Copies of this chain bind each other. A is one copy, B any other.
Amino acid sequence: MLSTKIGILGGGQLGLMLLQASVDWNLDISVLDGDPDAPCSKLAPHFQQGSIQDFDTVYAFGKGLDLITVEIEKVNIDALEALEKEGKQVYPQPSVLRIIQDKRVQKQFYQDHGIATAPFVLTDSRADVRSNAAMLPAFHKLGKDGYDGQGVRKIATADDFESAFDAPGVLEKAIPFEKELAVIVARRPGGEVRTFPVVEMAFHPEKHLVEYLFAPASVTREVEDKAVTLAVEVAEALGITGLLAVEMFLTKEGDVLVNEVAPRPHNSGHHTIRANVTSQYEQHWRAILDLPLGDTSSFSPAAMVNLLGEPGFEGPARYEGIEKLLAEKAVFPFLYGKKITKPFRKMGHVTVMSENLELLTEKVDFVKSNIRVIS
């Protein structure tokens, strides 16, 4: 199966890290992305510029391959379904992508399968949102096309209704949570699953973007078990082949609720490249190639800091402070090679490792105050 011709839809940083992991097994990989300068463009064994949302482009790309995967959900699912019908392996399956791609369908899926999630109503318009004042405080999420914190609006009081999307979405009750957790599950076609240790995420206060995370999460064994069980429950309900990253809320009452999921490698697993026996990227290959899943245990507690484009800078990217980071023990910057930086654009990440949470926190602070992505 190592000679399988593999295609990745999307050539961003997740694709890049998948490529890096694929080197060990000499996988034959083609990447499709609309941007000729995408992070994968120089490194992919085969790179094709083209829209991952266009039926004909995706279909033609997949025709010459054996196995197609994704590094982003926003792809042409019709084309993937057509390819699947013709006998191509498509993992995650188009049916799973269809559920996840639309946050409305995703939420409904949780409800239908008795999976714990925050209360919500489906809304078709801004007027619809207004008529659900009882849900406030809440978040309004676009059904489709949201990414990296785009497509989410906080509706704290009736004064915020103006900022709701006037398009199909989900109005979700804001949960007064204690922490946000994530678990990455890998599942093989036959059903074998394996999970990575629970991580704890800190989000940027305004941008709804992961700012940094700690692994493992500082939670009780009981919460850990709940989170892992819930994540596996979602993966099994979906019947996904590949990785599923499950983001969850830990409520003040100690309950764990699914927030949302991603059917691919995820920001909350970047640190596994350095800190775990098997990285999430290698695990994705193992799962979709139907190979035995790898050991997910970690060598050391770790934290991951996202390197976001500094506000106020837009243009050719420059990383300031890399050398200071490299001079520290077990501080590992990973740069995505995007030519242009923009405020809050994900430009890279930094993994740090240390024996305990206190030292990790110090290292995270050090990283945050010593590196900037400017222009």
Contacts and interface: CB of A to CB of B under 8 A. Distances in A.
A23 interface: yes
Contacts of A26: 39, 335-337
A292 B23 contact: no
A360 interface: no
Contacts of A25: 322, 333-335
Given A2-B335, A25-B335, A26-B39, 15 more contacts: A2-B319, A17-B23, A19-B23, A19-B43, A24-B333, A25-B322, A26-B336, A42-B46, A43-B43, A277-B329, A277-B330, A277-B353, A286-B326, A291-B323, A295-B330
Given A24-B332, A299-B300, A353-B277, A292 B19 contact: no
A108 interface: no
A257 interface: no
A327 interface: yes
Interface in A32-53: 39, 42-43, 45-46
A97 B316 CA distance: 38
Contacts of A299: 299-300
14 contacts: A16-B23, A19-B43, A20-B23, A24-B335, A25-B333, A25-B335, A26-B39, A42-B45, A277-B329, A286-B326, A292-B326, A292-B327, A299-B299, A299-B300
A294 interface: yes
Interface in A280-305: 286, 291-292, 294-295, 299-300
Nearest to A17: B23
A305 to B, nearest CB: 15
Contact of A323 (B45, B292, B334): B292
A322 B353 contact: no
Contacts of A294: 326
